[in-house]
Amino acid sequence: MYAIIDIETTGGKFNEEGITEIAIYKFDGQDVIDQFSCLINPEKPIQPFVVNLTGINQNMLRSAPKFYEVAKRIVEITEGCVLVAHNAVFDYRVLRMEFDRLGYPFERNTLCTVELSKFLIPEMQSYSLGKLVRALGIPMSDRHRATGDAMATVKLFKLLLDKDQEKQILKALVRSQPIRQIEPKLLQILDQLPTETGLYYFHREDGELIYIGKSKNIKKRVTQHFTGQNRKSKKIQQFVAAVTFETTGSELIALLKESQEIKKNKPIFNVAQRKTFFGFALYNQLNKEGYQCLSIEKNDGRKKNITTFTSYEEGRSFLFKLAEEHHLCQKLLGLYPDSGACFAYQTKNCLGACICEEPAELYNQRLLKAIEKFQFQNKNLLLIDRGRSHDEKAVILIENGDYKGYGFFHLNYQIQHIDVLRSLITPMENNRDTLRIIHAFIQKKRGIKIIVF
């Protein structure tokens, strides 16, 4: 749980500032579940430059509560939360200073969205809150007022959670808030899970990820893990100390994120999809007779490939299967080195392209159709799907036939301006697994809107 906070102060000498306004949004990683905001009488003058910046003046604060009158509410709403702020060092210091004056030891773990943004979005020109959210297309109102800045920080933090592929934020949260006692804990964990589409993450007590999964109903799927009697389920039940989750709205994004994050984090209970190095690739070219030929070569990032493999043997196995399913010539696929007709022709599975018996045009059409599902043929596409709320949409970006990543947007402005859209996109790896996931999903016609640009 997070408490996202923004504070406006009187300005003045270090450690002599007073709070003039505070806003806190309690955030569970998906939604704001509680909030508190109010003006505060600092009982000291406000610096003129601060009045000009915030619009808060002494007259507005005469009838406002003093800090000690709202301190209990601040403690309650931040209890058990990680404090999140844009420049957290400042907000946390001022807040602790006010509590020190009351003789109360206020201590919370903190996260700074400035530092997180520099790490997760390194290409930004400025990391001031106003310029950063504007560059990301995040709507913002009441700049330099606590409620407006805190809500902008909520939206920014939600974007940063999306971009945190290695889940460092969630791991830190679990380390600071471990759930103990194995048996009663399972029911307690289930009570906190949503019934929505997304990903779920099983953690050990030290925060380390041990399993990543996706489901159209997170709570139902985790329940199956906790009640399962197979060896894997029992192992998970033994080691799990906490479950975090991330709703995506879009099942396609859940599938893509699951594939990517398993490769990045390599949880011990995820066996499938863990391979990360695609050292070999499949390329095509025309031979002198006009037939399309395929070959497996070392992956060269400068050349456009059809698909990739983790080993040469995996590539050959793939081509043998492709030849059998689509009656393709083993010789033109580089699987039969001898001259003359290939072995598949002798078993009547090849239609004779190897000896020019089948016209090149017909053979090429069949081969291109066979490999179509592994590439987008240099297209630029936006795939629009449902988002995490009724006013949000999910977007998958494909440029020059390569999968670039995913993001979420609220405004038509964001989707119509490709530069703004790119800043919202969480970069993802383009590999055989991701392209297969996208193609398979589109072919099932699940309501994905496709925009060509």
**Coil, strand, or helix at residue 163?**
helix
State mean pLDDT over 198-221.
92
Task: Give the Å distances, CA to CA, from 153 to 23, 83, 261.
Answer: 11, 12, 25
Give me the pLDDT at residue 179, please: 45
Least confident range from 195-204, 287-296, 417-426: namely 417-426
Give me the pLDDT at residue 221, please: 92
* 273 pLDDT tier (thresholds 50, 70, 90): low
Give me the pLDDT at residue 243, please: 92
* 80 pLDDT tier (thresholds 50, 70, 90): confident
Where in the chain are the domains? 2-163, 168-265, 280-374, 381-452
Give me the pLDDT at residue 173, please: 67
**Coil, strand, or helix at residue 259?**
helix
* 329 pLDDT tier (thresholds 50, 70, 90): very high
Give me the pLDDT at residue 182, please: 37
Give me the pLDDT at residue 212, please: 95
- In tens, the pLDDT along 171-206 reads 776 665 544 433 566 778 888 899 999 999 999 988
3-state secondary structure 280-347: EEEEEEECCCCCEEEEEEECCCCCCCCEEECCHHHHHHHHHHHHHHHCCCCCCCCCCCCCCCCHHHHC
Q: Is the pLDDT of residue 25 over 80?
A: yes
Least confident range from 161-175, 193-207, 312-326, 340-354: namely 161-175
* CA neighbor of 159 nearest in space, from 204, 120, 205, 190: 120
Q: Is the pLDDT of residue 1 over 90?
A: no
State mean pLDDT over 111-129.
87
State mean pLDDT over 295-308.
82
Give me the pLDDT at residue 177, please: 55
Identify each DSSP E strand in 216-303 by its residue range.
242-247, 280-286, 292-298
Q: Is the pLDDT of residue 342 over 60?
A: yes
CA gyration radius, the chain: 28
Helix (H) or strand (E) holding 24: strand 19-27
Q: Which residues pair with 403 in a beta bridge?
A: 398
Give me the pLDDT at residue 196, please: 93
Q: Which residues pair with 23 in a beta bridge?
A: 6, 37
Q: Please count the other Cβ atoms lying within 10 Å of the Cβ belonging to residue 372.
A: 12
Q: Rounded CA gap, 120 and 107, in Å?
A: 27
Give me the pLDDT at residue 318, please: 87
State mean pLDDT over 357-377.
83
CATH 3.30.420.10 fits 2-163, yes or no: yes
Q: Rounded CA gap, 293 and 329, in Å?
A: 9
- In tens, the pLDDT along 221-241 reads 998 888 887 888 888 888 898
Architecture of domain 168-265: 3-Layer(aba) Sandwich (3.40)
State mean pLDDT over 14-27.
90
Winning range, highest mean pLDDT, from 108-112, 236-240, 251-255: 251-255
Give me the pLDDT at residue 315, please: 87
Q: Please count the other Cβ atoms lying within 10 Å of the Cβ belonging to residue 356.
A: 12
Q: Is the pLDDT of residue 264 over 80?
A: yes
Least confident range from 155-164, 206-215, 326-335: namely 155-164
Query: Average pLDDT, whole number, for the chain?
Result: 85
